[in-house]
Chains A and B, each alone.
Chain A
């Protein structure tokens, strides 16, 4: 049963990636708002959104009602710690050796003294949490997003961020437990992660005119911010004005 499910999920993903490469040759992704796969992404977004509204959100709301915040914080810490081997790998791949050593120490301390990551004594001791993944590494190496993707069940992503699915899965200790152990723990992770996003999606529902476009742009900018560790060069902001000013000047020329 599980195998079947995994297989169909994988083949769906493969199909997606296949279609992507099919379209890549035909489309031009130079300008900022390009979304060459929108016609495939949108239906998947709508499917994810329906599933989210009817199943995941009610569960996540129920979960936040019955679980006190300190407990949810412990659970979030635990799952953050499980992803940390992937963070460490990508620290080193991005040439951040000092951060890689700090993060290794952080992982060791929180896994032992922090009782398997439930507690975060490392942060108290000055070893703060970092956010790195293979998609960010590819960004640091100079790859652009190529194309925005919406993955079934997983949500917003991009061609640049897909390979991280492999490294983060391979480096998550949970992957190597039997299904009977891993499945219920993963279920808690999914519900807890969704609960942590409730505020963000409420913000989206309140502000978005077109939730698909809103999510896409927010995802893109969030990823750029992460690639630059929260400090993108001001050039990233200048590009926006340059585009606009060029456009306005062009228009003026056409009108005059």
Chain B
């Protein structure tokens, strides 16, 4: 009986902690991890930084929904294996992009600016990246996924990641087909991995 109670309490606590995590907290956690990785870019190689960011990005984003939105009408035409493959590649591409782009630290910091409610329970979290030169707006659209708030779009400096990817990917899918799209995305991942941290300065 005690055990059962403990179990119930644990479950209740667990669910509670999910509900307690605000959209702002999800974004802040991602930002904190990015700053950590930026600061360590001198001492850690690409793979090590990838391993740090991978779990954070995977739990912050809803790649299944993102994949569905990016491919729009074409999504339904893919079979289950292709869908799985695409979600996997898009996740890897996103993590690789973060590792490759946030690869040095010179005093940057993220600042939370506020929330805005959108339709269907979505929330827009507004932040900015403050660099020595300027402030770059980073806005995130989050939606209440099954388990927690998850990011489904990033709007960096006014440019929506979802729209950009949709325009490009659906075009490639239409003209070259799914296999070619996968091939091109894998090339992009490889290109960023090979660039290494030293060539970017």
Contact = CB atoms under 8 A, between A and B. Distances in A.
B158 A207 contact: no
A203 B155 CA distance: 16
B167 A33 contact: yes
A218 B159 contact: yes
Contacts of B118: 234, 237-238
Interface size class of B (residues with CB under 8 A): 35 or more
B28 interface: no
B116 interface: yes
B177 interface: no
Given A210-B171, A213-B168, A216-B167, A240 B162 contact: yes
A169 to B, nearest CB: 26
B184 interface: yes
Contacts of B137: 230
A234 B72 contact: no
Contacts, number: 87
A230 B72 CA distance: 27
B51 interface: no
Interface stretch (A55-63, A93-101, A133-141, A247-255): A247-255
B69 A237 contact: no
Contact of B97 (A207, A218, A237): A207
B2 interface: no
A241 B124 contact: no
Nearest to B160: A221
B164 interface: yes
Nearest to A216: B167
A224 interface: yes
Contacts of B69: 240-241, 244
B164 A217 contact: yes
Given A206-B191, A238-B118, A248 B158 contact: no
Interface in A173-210: 203, 206-210
A244 B71 CA distance: 9
A167 interface: no
B168 A208 contact: yes
Interface string B5-16: 000000000000
B22 interface: no
A139 to B, nearest CB: 13
Given A206-B100, A222-B158, A247 B72 contact: yes
9 contacts: A208-B168, A210-B171, A210-B172, A214-B164, A214-B167, A225-B158, A225-B159, A230-B158, A241-B119
Interface of A: 33, 203, 206-210, 213-214, 216-218, 221-222, 224-226, 230, 232, 234, 237-238, 240-241, 243-244, 247-248, 251-252, 255
